[in-house]
Structures are given as C-alpha cells and as structure tokens.
Structure 1
C-alpha cells in the first residue's frame, strides 16, 4: 500500500472525465447550471476515485473557516475544561470546529498560540489570558486581522472586545462574610497575581467584607500567591506558623491553593474546621471529596462557555464582518459552603 498516495482533487476528476475543473466543482455542489447526466457522471467518478472535499478550502473561499480557537491557561483545570465543554455544546450544533490551545501560564506561549490561530484563519479567538505579561499587542492583532475576539474570566480591560466574566468582587465578599458568620475572626487572603483584574477584584471583595463587618484588616494576613504551585506549600506554612496565625484562609486564587492549605494544616496538626476555616475558588471536582470537603465558589464554567458561544453566533448572525461590538456579560458565581468552613 502506498501510504504517500496523493489526495484526489477536482482537477484529477476533471482530467479523468475530460471536463473543466469548474464543471466538476459545480456538479459536486449541485449547481443548477449543470445538467443531471453530467452531475451523476461526476459524482460517480468522485466516489470511484475516493474523492474527499477540502472543507477548509471551501470555507475560506466563502470567507469563513467555521472554526473557533480557544486559548486557556490550563486545560486540566475543571473551570477551563467546563468552559470549553459549554462552548462545544453550542458550536457542535452549528457544525463549527474548535482548536484548543493552552498557554501554561506563559505569556510567550500565549502569543504563539494566538499567532497560530490567526494563521489558521479562525473566525473567532476566545481567550483567558495567562498570569504573566503586561503587553497585549497580540490581542489587538486579532482585532486588526478582523477576527472576532472574546475574552473571558481573565480579561484585559484596555482591549476593546466582547467579554464574559464572573462578578468576582461580589462572590469573594460573600465568601468572606460566610467565614465571619461562622465565627472566624482572623481571616487571611491568599490572592492571585495582582496584574490580573480578576484577582484584584477578589481582593477588593475580601477587603469590603472585612470593613463592612468591622473586622480589622491585618496586612500580614494578605499574601499574593503566584501561579507557581511549587511555592505554595512554603507560602502557606509561613502564614500558618505566624506568632498570631489566622483562624481562616480564603484561597482566592483557586482550589488547588485551598487544597495546599488543607495539606499543610494537616501536617502541622491544625484541625479543620475547628481551628482553621478554609475557602477556595472554582469548585474543582476534588473539593467535594477531600476530608473535610472544601468550601468553594462555583464559577458556572459550562454556562459561561455557552454564553461565549451564543454571544459569538448572535453577532455573527448580523453578518457584519467589520463590526466590533464591545459588551461585557457578567455571570454571578455561587458560594458552595462545605465542611471546611462549618464550625460545629
């Protein structure tokens, strides 16, 4: 068997039937200008020669690739995989394809992903930016190429595009107020990288909850946790071994950080939730099966994904290739109170 056998094209069919390539193309597309006998002859020969239509080339001729590119920091986090699942549930109905890339929190890799998708002539790029970087020229480049840009979760405000986000400030405020109502008085914050607005908003919610409930703000209890999990244990240990340690921790970066708090607390012999309350963010799958189960915030990733896809198709239906619609859609997360913050 010749594994390098050349793909059959309409030109091969045309030569075999002594027809023009345009006649073959019209026949395969049921053009009314082609008589029925010729059309049947072309279709029969195409089947005989194992012809497969080049859908990408056809779509590009129509000005559409029917492909959406997605760039996320990490595919293996439940929130991002749920967003992708939500998008796919809508795009599948529309016969659209997805190209999924992950930046691994690298700004350089994110730029490469975006440039690759531009070169693939995708119709839309959906992105949640990485924790690194402060230059977003590559996002403006997407718009300059007349490709739809939809930012979600982690967005860059100065880039004018469609955005789908969570109300992070309100969700964080509710989480901290839940801890206060449970009787915790020294609540620490493990915040994500402050160059990203979602983590600044979560920190703002934390501070508002403390001030609204007249709980003192202690600077030594507010620590920025980057996205490097290797440093998490050391950071958490330094927090839990302070001379006056916290009696609760709001790991606002993500649930993996909250899990790290639980592991270090267990190692230090600190009882959860009796001596230490813990709340994470994202509602990762493991949070319900830890001992104790982890209080967290559900970001409704699947719903966010569906909203992203619906937003794209609603704009696409307007059939205006040059329109840039600037709109932000906010989805309210939900606090999931579990055993790690429930004092008896």
Structure 2
C-alpha cells in the first residue's frame, strides 16, 4: 500500500486558489482573515486530513513547547518516577517531552544532547552518565538559547538550577540504623566517585562510622558495585574475607542490594540475623523480596515535579538571576526486614 503524502498548507491553498500565507493565518486563528474564508479553509483542512506541524509553528512564534530529558537509565524506578513527575506538570502546561537514555555512556549522552538541540527544544533536563567527564556539550546549550536543569547526578561546576536529594544525610541515617541494630562490620558498595552523589553517600557512610567510634576498614569498601551483577560479585569477595562483614550498605542502588541478597541466599546466610542489607532508591521490588529490603526513598516523583515547576515558575519567566539555584528534596529511610536484626 502506497504511503499517503502528508497534507501541507500549500495543498490547501492550491485547492482553494488562495495564498499559502492566508491559509497559514486562518489555521493559526489570525483575525485578519474573514470568517467566511476561515471557515472554508478549516473545512478543507479537515477534508484533506491536515495536521499542523507544531514544531514549525512554535519556531515561527519564537518558542518551542518541547522539553528534552536525558537520563542514564529509563527502566530504573527513580528515573521513571522523576520523568512521570515532570510529565504531570508539562502536560498541564501543554508541553511535549522527548526522552533520551544515555545508558551510562558519556558518548551517548553527547549524542542525546545533539539530537535535542536539533529538535530545537526549549529546555534540557539532565542527569549525567556514569563516565561523565567533559561538560563542553552542556556549555554549548547557551549558544542555542536552550536552558539546562540538572538533577540527581550533576556537574557542580555549571551555574544551573539543580534539584538534588540529601544523599549524605540519607547514607548517614542508613548506616546509623545498621549500627543501632547491632551490626559491627558494615561494608559499603560505592558508585563511581567522579559523580557527586556517590561521593556524598560515601561521606555519609564514613561520618556515621566516625560518630559511633567505628574504624574505617578499607577492605570493606568496594568500588563501582552498582548493578545486580556487580553487587553479587562484590558480595562474593566480601564474604570470602577472613573477617567478612555482617552488614552491607549498597549505596549505589537497590539492584546492587538485590545482588547481595542473591549471594546471601545462595550461601544459606540468614538475612538479617547473619547479614544485614540496605539499598538505595526504593525500587518496587524491595517490598516483595524475601526478606523485604531496607532502602531509601528519594521521592523521585516529587523531584520531577520540582524540576518542571522550576522551568515554568523561574526559568521561563526569566528569573534566572536567583541566588538560590539548588532545590533539595529530603529523602527518607524505609526500614524493612532485611536490617531488623533486633526484630
């Protein structure tokens, strides 16, 4: 079946023997076109199944009601909920979203940004990839008059609005909880230290140990264990130590915590009596594992709403000279069975 050619204003103009400019004015509701002519144009547009090119229309008006989002992974609860929060606000404002996934690759992130620039989006909302280093692709956005809002994983050197979680505070609370439950050797699964969120979570872990008089044991800290598979590998190594940990704080993600649980169950280790497990992000599955997993709820949907509201209430209105450009959403420790050693 031959694909039907998309109807343009020139097709409507040709059929009615009118100027394309008259058709364009009528379709945009311009009062300079008589009601009779406008009615005829609208009727013909419907008959020809004409659909307005909203991007071209917005560009002619000097604005594009489209916002781009770039996240590391769409299939993680945190990012999915953040996107849902953004969409809830943008839908009410009549804006469209273009969602891109960097898949933790700086190279793909740059390509995502280039694509969004070519789509003439009005704003880009970004959470950086794991191997993010150079920010030149972000600095170039100003040349295209595209606003930037960063969230969760951010480049602190860029003067943009940022929406963050209290990562250090949350990690401190999680480790303090483990200590209160009687755990003595608490291991840390940490993420890439080039990202501020993982540096902050490590700082919270170290602060909680220090406050409670616990030594920092380097062999209990495992780098870049942030997927289920990497969490499992790190756990195998930790449990093979002459003095293995009795609790593991997967500060990277709940997926890493799930990897910890996999290994513990395969070895017949009782959770939480012999090994406490705490994750981060409150993924849906943490409620239904056996035992359920203690984690940290970052209120990601609220983060998404805050991001969108920043754009419409601050940036779009031109109040970007605000001194306070960082919004913090306070996270919450969600205690479940995987750390309740004392019942």
Which residue does the alignment assign to 1:94? Answer: 93
Cα distance per residue 1:18-61 (max 9 Å; x no partner): 22112112222232222222222222222222222111110111
Residue 164 of structure 1 aligns to a residue whose secondary structure is: strand
Which residue does the alignment assign to 1:143? Answer: 142
Does the 8 A contact of 2:231 with 2:258 survive in 1? no
Which residue does the alignment assign to 2:337? Answer: 339
1:1-344 equivalences under 5 Å are 2-3=2-3, 5-227=4-226, 229-319=228-318, 323=320, 327-343=325-341, 344=343
Q: TM-score, normalised by structure 1?
A: 0.95
Distance 1:120 1:154 in 2: 24
Does the 8 A contact of 2:12 with 2:23 survive in 1? yes
Distance 1:94 1:57 in 2: 19
| Unpaired runs of at least 5, structure 1 | none
Distance 1:223 1:121 in 2: 42
CA RMSD of aligned residues (A): 1.6
Distance 1:190 1:279 in 2: 10
Residue 65 of structure 1 aligns to a residue whose secondary structure is: coil
Cα distance per residue 1:194-226 (max 9 Å; x no partner): 110000000000011111111122111111124
Does the 8 A contact of 2:227 with 2:253 survive in 1? no
Does the 8 A contact of 2:106 with 2:131 survive in 1? yes
Does the 8 A contact of 1:131 with 1:227 survive in 2? no
Distance 1:155 1:67 in 2: 22
Distance 2:315 2:202 in 1: 36
Q: TM-score, normalised by structure 2?
A: 0.95
| Greater displacement, 332-341 / 23-32 | 23-32
Shift, 1:77, TM fit: 0.5
Does the 8 A contact of 1:105 with 1:227 survive in 2? no
| Greater displacement, 79-88 / 213-222 | 213-222
Distance 1:135 1:251 in 2: 28
Residue 120 of structure 2 aligns to a residue whose secondary structure is: coil
Shift, 1:274, TM fit: 0.4
| Greater displacement, 136-145 / 81-90 | 136-145
Distance 2:57 2:259 in 1: 51
Shift, 1:14, TM fit: 1.6
Does the 8 A contact of 2:229 with 2:259 survive in 1? no
Cα distance per residue 1:160-194 (max 9 Å; x no partner): 21100001000000000000111111111111111
Shift, 1:233, TM fit: 2.2
Shift, 1:229, TM fit: 4.8
| Greater displacement, 325-334 / 76-85 | 325-334
Cα distance per residue 1:98-134 (max 9 Å; x no partner): 1111111111111111111111101111111111131
Residue 56 of structure 1 aligns to a residue whose secondary structure is: helix
Q: Alpha carbons of 1:227 and 1:184: their partners in 2 closer, same or farther (altered >3 Å)?
A: closer
Distance 2:38 2:48 in 1: 15
Distance 1:171 1:211 in 2: 16
| Greater displacement, 136-145 / 223-232 | 223-232
